[in-house]
Structure formats: C-alpha cells, structure tokens
Structure 1
C-alpha cells in the first residue's frame, strides 16, 4: 500500500495544513564514526526529519490539538532514546496546556541499534500517556501501516478512541520476524486493520481524508467534560405524562415487536456527533451491546446501550458485552462525562461458555462501577428489561421508562415455570410481579414516563425524538446539580424506600 510521510499526514489532517512544531534538536545517541551515526545521517538526508517522530500543535476543525506523528522513513519509525525524549516532552506539554492529543504511530518498534536502553523507553512513554489520561484529557490514536512491536504494545494501544488506516498491518510481532523464528508464515488476514476492528481491538477503519471529521466529531464529545457545567435548572422536555393502566402482558408483547425502535434508532433520530466504538478495545466484541459517544441537545455523553435487533438475531449479551459496557463506564469516569445507559434486553446468554467466562461476575462488576461513578448517570428503560443483563445498566441517578418498557428478574414465562410449573400463566405472573412502567414509577424504580402514542413501533421517529429531548433535559439537569447532592441522592435511591 502507498505510505505517506509524517509531514504530508499532518498537512492533510490539520486546518489549512498549518501547524507549529514543538521539536527541539535530539540528543546525540550514536558514537562518533560508528555505523549507527552514518545510518542516522542517511535517515535525516532521506526524510528531511531529524528523528522518527514529529510533534507539535495545530487546529483540527477549529479545535487546538497536539500531535505525535511517526515518520516511518526514518529507520522504520523506530523508537530510540532521543525519539522517546521527543514523544514524552510532547505528551507532557499537551498535558500541561490541557490539549487533546492525537498520536499517529507507524513503526517497527524498538530501535535495535540502541538495544535494551531503547526498549525500556516504551514504559516511560506509557507513563506519560497515562498521566495525560489521568488529567481527564482525550488521547486519540490513528494506527498507520505498519504499526508493530513495542509501539503497538505501549502508546499505540492506549487511546480513548483508536482508529486504523485501511489495510494497515497492525500486530505485536512483525510477520517477517515470525516467519524467521517459526519457519512458517503468520496466518494471513489476522494482523490487518479491518480484522482487528471486527474483533474489538480498534474502533474503526478510517481513511486519511476522513480522519479530520471523525476525530473532530469524537473530540466534540470527549472534550465536553472539561467545560464547566452550566447553572440553572432546565425545564422538562414535556409535561410529565400520567401512568396508565395498560396490562403488563400487553406492554410485554408490544416491547417484543420486531419493528420497535431501539438504541440505534434513538441515536439516528435523536442524537448528533455520534461516534460508535467497537468492542472492549482489548480483543472482545459483542453485537448485542453498543458503545458510542454522542450529544443529545447540548449534553455530551458516553452511551452504553443494549441493541435489541442484534440480541434477537442470535447475539444475546454475554460476558464480552458487559466488558464493553465497563469500557464505557471507564471512559465516562476518566473524561468526566455523563453516562447514558439504554436497557432493552430479553436477557443474557445462557451457555456453558458464558458461565466459564464469568457472566455473573461481569454483572457484579458493572453494578460496582456504575453505582460508584462520580459523574451524572441516566438510564433509559427502552423496552424489555430481563434479568441480570438489565440490572447491570439500571442503577443510575435517574431512570426514564418508556410506556411499554418493563423490568423483571426473569422472562415472565420463566417466572411462571418456577411458581406454577408451566409457562401458561406468564401474563398473570407479569401482572403480579409489578414489572410494567406504572408499577416501576409507583415503586420509585423509575422517575419519568416516556410516552408512546400508542406504541413506539407505530411512530419510531417521533418517539425517538421525544425520548432524545427528555434525555437532553435530564442530562442537563443532572450535570448542573451539585455533585455532592447528586451523589447523596443516588445513595438514598440505592437504599430503597423505608420500611412501611
């Protein structure tokens, strides 16, 4: 594939192609008269660069950003002592000036001419990146062809959002080294950007000319946590509708309609600046769980939503899906963003594999992380709410419930089997267990009813637009609230109502 240099990449990403260098002359690392000194001189002559990375700042769709971009033509973009000096200095300056950082590695890894001393610099670079992230600042990574070795195993794999160049070779061990060591070629199609996106290692495959818009859209949400919260109490999006007496079983049947809108329609019709992320970023993906960055009105948030269509077409939520949800919770925590959860699930997968991979433990860890998040949290019970998979995303500062949304420890058919030894009394069990929206409001489990006129499936766009307006209003109100008061209210909510 065609490889472009660092300067051309920067020129194509930043506004008007203009940027300001942060680079200073690198320290001397090669012995005078050595072969390595000659290699460095030849690399400088060939690329016009004095090291294997270029750092600096510029504007990305009007937003000031810092960058670290590899020059592969300079000794295969390898990282030596002077290279590490430059990367760390740039990361630390970006942190001090509170700038989002865009990294675009393209490297074979450690500079072999400098050996172990260069190898351990990967830990030093990682520490600088993690200090940047700990400061609540966004770190975006764009993996270019090729990115391998220690670079991928350090600063190349730490992005809040990670994209990759189409067709890029991305892997821990370069295929040439693998073949030399093992006497056979590495399996084809594995270390390719598109495969790694499908497996949840990277979030998206993005062409260079698409990158500015994709990065700017993500930063519009990721940087929102740095802005001070606006004061005031927003008005509700609509008057609070009265709960009705719809039988529980009618709501359950309506919630199971194949044409009922889900989280993807909610984002399509009601949100903007949407960036969908792929999987855990650690090699797991689950189509039943959608993770995204988005804005509802002016409120930016991380969205963790159960995708009803994927679940009902053979992809029920499993342990990997809950780990994707926890990635979203960590993003919200680290970048001081509100978290929106969308509950819409017929229940978690029931299988031997799910048990062996710790399904119950992942539900517990979701509950632990969600209930202790310091930022605002909001749940939308959009449709079905069955079992532990629903509970894992439920305990938030506020819960909005669709008119035909419902919540139950088991599918009503399963509850009927336990109590009556038959599924035939499922409707009776649902009514008795208090699963419907009216019951959830009365019990204080839900706070606000989202109207359906008469059914979300009959008016998908209108329903999603109304729901999005309610989300925007409640997120704005929660964000404007005093954090100590909000956390105290959450604690009271978790304790439940006092004894009668």
Structure 2
C-alpha cells in the first residue's frame, strides 16, 4: 500500500519548530556536519540534499522555550535524504541529548525518517545503539523525554529513539512502523495490509498516547511539562510537606456496618477515577496503553498534579456499564508502565483502587492474570519512588491487592477491601450467598477494621455518601492526596523501602 497521507502538509523542521516553540526562542546547537569520506554518487546525493533542504544534515538540534519553559529539541528534516540517519546525524543527535542531560533540560524529539541511511550501511545502522544509550542516560537522570512522531517514521529510527518517550504522541495520519511499505512490497510481492501502520491505529492498540495536530502540540507539551517539571524546585526535590493541612486529618473511621458500606460503593453514580481526576486534580494528562500493543480499558493511567504535587496516577477504571470489562492482565501491564514512569521521572506514584474484581475469563487466564498480579505486587513493594494508595470504593480480590502496596494509604469512608466479594466468601463457607452481610462483618473488610490493623493512614469523610455530592468529596480527597504525596516524598530515599516493608510486615500486630 502507498503511505497514508497526513491530514496536513508535512512541516519542515523549521516550520515545526516555529509552531511548537515560543516565537524567536529557538537557538541552534548544530556545529557544521562532518561527513566521513563520501565519494561518487553518495557525495552528489549529499550535495543535492543540502540544496533541496537548506540544511547540512537530516536533523536540527537546539533549544527554545515552550510557554516560557526552556527545552531541548531534536527535529528531523525529511527533505534531507528522507530524514535518514547516517553517522554525522547520529553524532549530532547524541551530542544534543548529552547536552540536554548535562543542562538538566527536558527533551522533545520530532522524528520523521525512513530509518538509517543505506548509503552508509552497517555503521549507520549501529549508530542507533549510541543514540539509544544517550536517551537512556537522559531518562536515568529523571529528565522528561517527549516524542512527537511525524509522517513518516519507520525503520531504525522508529525502533530506537522514536519509541522511547515517556509521553509519545503522533501526527494525524502519520505512517509509523518498523518496516517501510515499499520494502515489504518489494520483498513479499504484495502491498502491506492497509490501516496498520497509521497513527490512529497505533493509538487504538495502546502504542502511543495521543494523535495530535501540530497546532495542538504546544498545549499538550505545556501541560505535560507543568506536571513533569514542577516550577517549585523544592517540591520537585521532595522537601518537607508544604501542602495545607486537610480537614480530613481530623476524621476517624465511622461505625457504618460493613455491608451497608459495600452497598453504598456499588452505586453506579459513585465518583470514580474519572471523577477524581476531573474534579479533584489541578491538571491531568491521560496516557494510553502499555506502549507494547495493549490498551485494556480496565485501568486508567495519567500524569497529574494535585495542588503543588505532581505524580503518576494509575487506577481501576470502573466500567461505565454493569457488563463492562473488568481489569485484565493487560491492565496490570499498563500499570507497570506507570510504575516505571514514576521511577524514571522521579515522581510519586498514586494508585487508585476501585474494582469489583479482576476479569474472570479464559482470555484473562491465558493472558497470565495471576502472574501479572504477582509482578505488580513485586514492583510496588520494591518501588524506588514515593507512593500513595487510595481506597476509593470497592476493593475486591487480587485485582485490588495488585495496586495496594504503598507508603501511605488513604481511604474513602465507605471503601472496603476483601479477598472475594462477600457473596463469594459466603458461597465458599455456607454454600449460599445469604450470609454475605454476616461474613463482611466477620472478615473486617471495612475502613474501621483496615484502620485498626494499621493499613489505612488517612480517612476522607463522605458526608454521608460520596454519590450525593461527588464534587465536594473529590475536592476533599484531592486535598488529602496532596498532603499524603508530600508526606511520602519527604521520607529519605534510603529509608523508604524499609518503612514500606515494615508497614505491610506488621499489619494487625
């Protein structure tokens, strides 16, 4: 198949820089490109590319500002030999990444490339390792790496620095993939299947976070950077708590019967993760999928800011309908992406628990649900980043447990946590569902019990039911979250794991 047309004319590197960066803020970092011995036909192609593009290589690097915030940029120039990466271009990219790292700058990459430069053969191909290592070291410093995939991005570029972003968005209609359609058709003798290597399909598959026109990019980048690079350096460094003391600090668990709380949380009008982010967070930027070809609707992932504290949020996405999909193994693989982001970006992790139970299906079993729960527990209990868990409503089984281990635990007044739905526990013990209320009380599933054993640290009142006043409840919960994120971040990194281990090792003791 021929390459799909982007929804707008392909922008040159200069045009994209002009759209994204504040007017007049761009400053080039490029030294003259030093081409290794290039003779004959290749030398002529290089000269023609210079004349056609007005550039001496296929990438432009430098710095500028997005809404006043200083950023480093690496942008492909497709008019120069289809944006292909040879040794000189690789050197320019690597030096730019290293400079951004040294100067502590977030980095924006805008690739548009057919891949490595065939005229330079294996050495150009191997240069992708060097670029990848530079990006890895940039991310290891906790610095954001944001990627805007442009039409087209294929081959070694897509398989290296094009696919390593903390946040990755793409141009509408862009051709994105490993194998170029022309190569596939030549080798296979038939067109590549239609609609596969298109930005919109990658979004549906959970491979990228959004499809965004160039004109919308500054707003998206500004929102991401406001969250990822907080303006308050002391808050970013995890200084002592500065959040206002929330009223909920004075709250104590109520005496509501466990079964009554369970019925309250099953109200379909109860505020969920979507409500919490929309009505409680000061800013939230949704992410999408695992980045590895899965997009399970059972989990939400976002960058968010509560007051002065930025964090990575992952939580159960309550189905919009009673028969909607529950959390499956793909949800937990997406959750583990969130955990990795928290560690790489050195931001606290907020998990939100609200599930009637994990998916009970053949597909979930064959997808390794039990193993994913185990790996999620393993990653959370050993997470290097500060962490806070919110028991927002229902907390059933392994699906709830998988997001629970955290430094601090907040609970809504009527939240609960149980190894099975009470009806399921009743079926095991009594061979009927009639004893569910009795077993809920005996098992200690409600907030009063969870607070007594030392799991819950902070209770947020519902006054008397969050479903009756969802905005007010979400505002109170948001203030509690901001406070607890500050508290968790204030713990010295060297003490964090031991404190967390001690918390979960002494429950009920």
TM range (shorter): over 0.9
1:32-54 per-position Cα deviation (integer Å, ceiling 9, x unaligned) = 4x111111111101110000000
Q: Which residue of 2 aligns with 1:18?
A: 25
Name the CA shift for 1:235/1:19 in 2 (closer, same or farther; >3 Å). closer
Q: Is the 8 A contact 1:310 1:316 kept in 2?
A: no
Give 1:118 shift. Answer: 0.9
SS in 1 for 2:269: coil
Give 1:242 shift. Answer: 2.5
Q: Is the 8 A contact 2:332 2:376 kept in 1?
A: yes
Q: Which residue of 1 aligns with 2:239?
A: 230
Residue 119 in structure 1 maps to residue 155 in structure 2 = no
Residue 466 in structure 1 maps to residue 476 in structure 2 = yes
- Aligned positions of 1:313-332 closer than 5 A: 313-332=323-342
1:320-362 per-position Cα deviation (integer Å, ceiling 9, x unaligned) = 1001111111111111100100000011111222222211111
When structure 1 is superposed on structure 2, of 248-257 and 307-316 the one drifting more is 307-316
When structure 1 is superposed on structure 2, of 225-234 and 430-439 the one drifting more is 225-234
Give 1:186 shift. Answer: 1.4
Distance 2:37 2:298 in 1: 53
SS in 2 for 1:197: helix
When structure 1 is superposed on structure 2, of 12-21 and 306-315 the one drifting more is 306-315
Q: Which residue of 2 aligns with 1:6?
A: 13
Distance 1:349 1:415 in 2: 17
Alignment counterpart, residue 433 of structure 2, candidates 402, 423, 430: 423
Q: Which residue of 2 aligns with 1:365?
A: 375
Alignment counterpart, residue 115 of structure 2, candidates 85, 89, 109: 109
1:271-316 per-position Cα deviation (integer Å, ceiling 9, x unaligned) = 1231100011111111110000000010100001111135844211
Residue 149 in structure 1 maps to residue 177 in structure 2 = no
Give 1:485 shift. Answer: 4.3
Distance 2:491 2:126 in 1: 45
Q: Which residue of 2 aligns with 1:275?
A: 285
Distance 1:81 1:141 in 2: 22
Distance 1:146 1:233 in 2: 46
Query: Structure 2-normalised TM-score?
Result: 0.95
Name the CA shift for 1:311/1:367 in 2 (closer, same or farther; >3 Å). farther
Q: Which runs of 5+ in 1 are unaligned?
A: none
When structure 1 is superposed on structure 2, of 357-366 and 150-159 the one drifting more is 357-366
Alignment counterpart, residue 338 of structure 1, candidates 340, 348, 351: 348
Q: Which residue of 2 aligns with 1:42?
A: 48
Q: Is the 8 A contact 1:288 1:311 kept in 2?
A: no
Q: Which residue of 2 aligns with 1:403?
A: 413
Give 1:414 shift. Answer: 0.8
Distance 1:294 1:312 in 2: 28
SS in 2 for 1:458: coil
Distance 1:404 1:11 in 2: 52
Q: Is the 8 A contact 1:21 1:57 kept in 2?
A: yes
Residue 63 in structure 1 maps to residue 73 in structure 2 = no
Residue 376 in structure 1 maps to residue 376 in structure 2 = no
Give 1:230 shift. Answer: 2.9
Q: Is the 8 A contact 1:65 1:100 kept in 2?
A: yes
Give 1:236 shift. Answer: 3.0
Q: Is the 8 A contact 1:289 1:305 kept in 2?
A: yes
Q: Which residue of 1 aligns with 2:102?
A: 96
Give 1:234 shift. Answer: 4.6
Distance 2:330 2:421 in 1: 22
Distance 1:26 1:359 in 2: 51
Name the CA shift for 1:15/1:39 in 2 (closer, same or farther; >3 Å). same
Name the CA shift for 1:411/1:189 in 2 (closer, same or farther; >3 Å). same
Give 1:232 shift. Answer: 4.8
Distance 2:243 2:228 in 1: 23
SS in 2 for 1:99: coil
Distance 1:168 1:223 in 2: 29
SS in 2 for 1:365: helix
Query: Structure 1-normalised TM-score?
Result: 0.97
Q: Is the 8 A contact 1:287 1:310 kept in 2?
A: no
Q: Is the 8 A contact 2:453 2:508 kept in 1?
A: no
1:139-177 per-position Cα deviation (integer Å, ceiling 9, x unaligned) = 000000000111000000000010000111111111122
When structure 1 is superposed on structure 2, of 482-491 and 201-210 the one drifting more is 482-491
Distance 1:7 1:384 in 2: 51
Distance 2:42 2:212 in 1: 36
1:210-262 per-position Cα deviation (integer Å, ceiling 9, x unaligned) = 11110111112222497323335655311422222211111111111111110
1:439-483 per-position Cα deviation (integer Å, ceiling 9, x unaligned) = 111111111111112111110111101100111111122222333
- Aligned positions of 1:450-461 closer than 5 A: 450-461=460-471
Q: Is the 8 A contact 2:241 2:483 kept in 1?
A: no
- Aligned positions of 1:436-447 closer than 5 A: 436-447=446-457
Name the CA shift for 1:56/1:479 in 2 (closer, same or farther; >3 Å). same
Give 1:92 shift. Answer: 0.8
When structure 1 is superposed on structure 2, of 400-409 and 302-311 the one drifting more is 302-311
When structure 1 is superposed on structure 2, of 329-338 and 423-432 the one drifting more is 423-432
Alignment counterpart, residue 244 of structure 1, candidates 254, 261, 266: 254
